[in-house]
Structure 1
Amino acid sequence: MYKIILVDDEKWVRVVLRKAVEQTKLPVVIMQECGNGLEALDALQHHQADLVISDIKMPVMDGIGLAEQLALKSVNVILVSGYDDFQLAQKAIRHGVKDFLLKPVETEAMADCLRRWIQERESREEALRTDISVINSDELSAIARVQQFVMANVHKEISLTDAATLVHLNPSYLSQLFKQQTGGKFVDFVIEMRMDEAKRLLVKTSLRVSEIAERLGYADISYFSTTFKKITTYSPLEYRKSGGMPKEKGHM
């Protein structure tokens, strides 16, 4: 249900507007009535609303003044005006006023106006959801490409900058995005993929541990062995002797 605030300095007009809104049977509810624009602004500080239906001429703060205050907010405004001030109402377009209703406001006119507003609102929300979906899809695609890049290049020196260049992203942003999408750091993923390759080479080949370390970019065999043990809880030789079956510790 979309929430509406009615604003008019005459109570009987608010009664007429409320009746017209309720008779439309549209998914809207009037959450509050106010006597002028200032009261409406105060109400909006305490309650969330989607739409304000306001008279254009009121004391303290009129409808155009209210529209000016709400121009940068997510609350839309529909102004109610008489024939004499219709041109004044037209000027309010620059303040983001969505539509106008001419007095006396009848149910059919109110229904048409609200339907247009609801349709525009739902179209905008759908477009926003689509944009977010596209962004999320692009981000997931970028992370998948980075992961494939790492797995295909475990024998090379791989940096975050290299990966960021591949997917045309800022390295810092990619680092944040990678952790957000995978739950782990980019550097830890690189190490994990290298250790997966090390496990494969230990079991499937007769290469010496030093040769495997060198293939994976580790000049220091001691550092390689320490990293391997941190991942698997076994030294490279112990892992080879076990045939690759020892129980492994969780990811870094």
Structure 2
Amino acid sequence: MHKLLIIEDEKLIRKRLVYGYDYESMGCLVIGEARDGQEGAALIKSLKPDIIITDINMPVMDAFDMLEETIDYLYSTIILSGYDEFKNAQKAIKYGVTEFIVKPIEEEELKNALKRAIDQVRVNKETQLFESRRRKLQGMQLIDSSMKTPNDEIAQEMVKYIKENYQKKFIFADVAKQIGYSQTLLHNRFKKYTKMTFNEYLNKYRIQQSINQLKEGKKRVYEIAIDCGFSEYKYFNKVFKKYLGMSATEFKEKV
């Protein structure tokens, strides 16, 4: 069911819009009603409707101000207007208004407007899904592209250490002891050839491994965090979100 919100200051018209039409047969469900744009904006933010039907001139806040305040929320809009308001209503095109209906409202006209609004909702959701997948892919490519093998023997030894020990808890002194050089030399050498610190590379590698496990879907997120060398789940999630733009749980749901 598509969530429908009614915003109209005239009580009789609002009640008719809420109760006078068979929205269920059109795949819609009225989830709320508002008397003015201010109430409407609050309900858009809290209820996140798919479609809103709104009058254009209302007290406290009109439709234009309401659409401006909620411009970051994704929904289709059907504007109700009087004959003398139609030209003014066209200004709302920049807010992605789907339809204009001139009062008095005819049932068939409303039904057709809802059909077109539902089509727009479908397009919006497909676009949103595409963008989400694109950002996820970009995040993964960002990690992959920065994990190239450095063109330096000592830096390569450090990368090898990461790949063999990323699941364990260790400190940089352990790396220096294993490779046989001072911490300062290793730190400078690694940054010179990878353009990032050792810890940054380590975190990226661990996140890359966690992505592989999240795709498999065999373990819980906190188990994957531990498997990939993060002793604290909160820190793992913070690092994951830094590189992917979403939490590990959100990534798992999308995958």
TM-score by length of 1: 0.55
Match of 2:90 in 1: 90
CA separation of 1:119/1:76 partners in 2, compared to 1, >3 Å: closer, same or farther?
A: closer
Which one-letter code corresponds to 1:180 in the other structure? I
Equivalent residue pairs, number: 180
| Deviation (angstroms), 1:53 | 1.1
CA separation of 1:16/1:130 partners in 2, compared to 1, >3 Å: closer, same or farther?
A: same
Match of 2:205 in 1: 178
The question of whether the paired residues in 1 share the 8 Å contact of 2:98 and 2:120 is answered with: no
* SS of alignment partner, residue 22 of structure 2: helix
The question of whether the paired residues in 2 share the 8 Å contact of 1:51 and 1:75 is answered with: yes
Which one-letter code corresponds to 1:182 in the other structure? Q
The question of whether the paired residues in 2 share the 8 Å contact of 1:17 and 1:105 is answered with: no
Match of 2:61 in 1: 61
* SS of alignment partner, residue 57 of structure 2: coil
CA separation of 1:38/1:21 partners in 2, compared to 1, >3 Å: closer, same or farther?
A: same
Match of 1:18 in 2: 18
CA distance in 1, matches of 2:142, 2:42: 46
Match of 2:31 in 1: 31
The question of whether the paired residues in 2 share the 8 Å contact of 1:149 and 1:163 is answered with: no
CA RMSD of superposed structures (Å): 3.8
The question of whether the paired residues in 2 share the 8 Å contact of 1:3 and 1:28 is answered with: yes
Which one-letter code corresponds to 1:112 in the other structure? N
**Residues 16-43 of structure 1: per-residue CA shift (max 9 Å, x gap):** 3235653462222111222221222343
| Deviation (angstroms), 1:80 | 0.4
CA separation of 1:178/1:88 partners in 2, compared to 1, >3 Å: closer, same or farther?
A: same
**1:14-163 alignment, distance < 5 Å:** 14-19=14-19, 21-23=21-23, 25-44=25-44, 46-137=46-137, 156-157=156-157, 159=159
The question of whether the paired residues in 2 share the 8 Å contact of 1:24 and 1:107 is answered with: no
CA distance in 1, matches of 2:191, 2:123: 39
CA separation of 1:123/1:12 partners in 2, compared to 1, >3 Å: closer, same or farther?
A: same
The question of whether the paired residues in 2 share the 8 Å contact of 1:8 and 1:14 is answered with: yes
CA distance in 1, matches of 2:155, 2:38: 68
Q: Percent identity?
A: 25
The question of whether the paired residues in 1 share the 8 Å contact of 2:7 and 2:55 is answered with: yes
The question of whether the paired residues in 1 share the 8 Å contact of 2:2 and 2:27 is answered with: yes
TM-score by length of 2: 0.54
The question of whether the paired residues in 2 share the 8 Å contact of 1:20 and 1:107 is answered with: no
CA separation of 1:133/1:100 partners in 2, compared to 1, >3 Å: closer, same or farther?
A: same
CA distance in 2, matches of 1:134, 1:86: 39
Match of 1:228 in 2: none
The question of whether the paired residues in 2 share the 8 Å contact of 1:7 and 1:35 is answered with: yes
The question of whether the paired residues in 2 share the 8 Å contact of 1:67 and 1:97 is answered with: no
CA separation of 1:127/1:64 partners in 2, compared to 1, >3 Å: closer, same or farther?
A: closer
* SS of alignment partner, residue 74 of structure 1: coil
Which one-letter code corresponds to 1:181 in the other structure? Q
The question of whether the paired residues in 2 share the 8 Å contact of 1:3 and 1:51 is answered with: yes
Whichever of the two has the greater Rg, that structure is 1
CA distance in 2, matches of 1:41, 1:139: 33
